[in-house]
Structure 1
């Protein structure tokens, strides 16, 4: 095997791996799509199995825009879930009333002074 044959083999291996990646991405998108029914998904899978290249090209042309919109929506939903989790862990999700109530309980227990309570109350009311 000479150098050029090696390059041709590497090219075809790259093409095969790229095609497999595209098919897997299409199948994942197909099964995550909530707007399409079961029969539509089954027909797309049959089309992709029996005519893979043509099926993938038609899928990307016909549903490529909605494919990217679903991916963006999933990313935004994941980001929102992460932000909500961080807020709850950090304590940023407490309302001013809840902060004042917890500070009042600490004041009544003698853990903080009246000046500390007033500072917490002022901070909670300012937002």
Structure 2
């Protein structure tokens, strides 16, 4: 019975705190590393060789590479992220406008409707129903 091991005494609360902090910092480091790599590929002002050089530097010497990258190019990271977000929002807005229709006014819809009637594609009854639907 004296050979019983109590795990609570082997791993104190302060040890658990330090472990949690190191795990948090490690995850934060991984996010920062991927953010820098994404920023490298997103930047259009760098040539392919410059991107390759930065990528090799960041991958082979990660701590020094990330530190130097943030010091040298960190001020533009936020600007490039904002430009990327605006471009994505613009693309989404254009897609919604395209798929939702032209958003034409009632006058344009009535003009198209009268053209269809004069071409003989609609009867008088169909024209009146469509006209009431547009005006309501």
Q: Calculate the TM-score normalised by the size of structure 2.
A: 0.72
Query: Over aligned residues, Cα RMSD in angstroms?
Result: 2.9
Q: Which moved more, 1:70-79 or 1:100-109?
A: 100-109
1:112 and 2:127 matched: yes
Cα distance change, pair 101–34 in 1 and its aligned pair in 2 (3 A): same
Distance in 2 (alpha carbons) for counterparts of 1:39 and 1:102 = 55
Q: Which of 39, 53, 57 pairs up with 2:63?
A: 53
Note if 1:76 corresponds to 2:86. yes
Separation (CA, whole Å) in 2 of partners of 1:95 and 1:74: 33
Number of the residue aligned with 2:7? none
The answer to whether residue 42 in structure 2 is matched with residue 35 in structure 1 is: no
> If the length of structure 1 is used for normalisation, what is the TM-score?
0.76
Aligned length: 120
Q: Name the structure 1 match of 2:22.
A: 12
**Residues 51, 115 of structure 1: CA spacing in aligned structure 2 closer, same or farther, 3 A cutoff?**
closer
What is the SS of the residue equivalent to 1:92?
Answer: coil
Unaligned runs of 5+ in 1: none
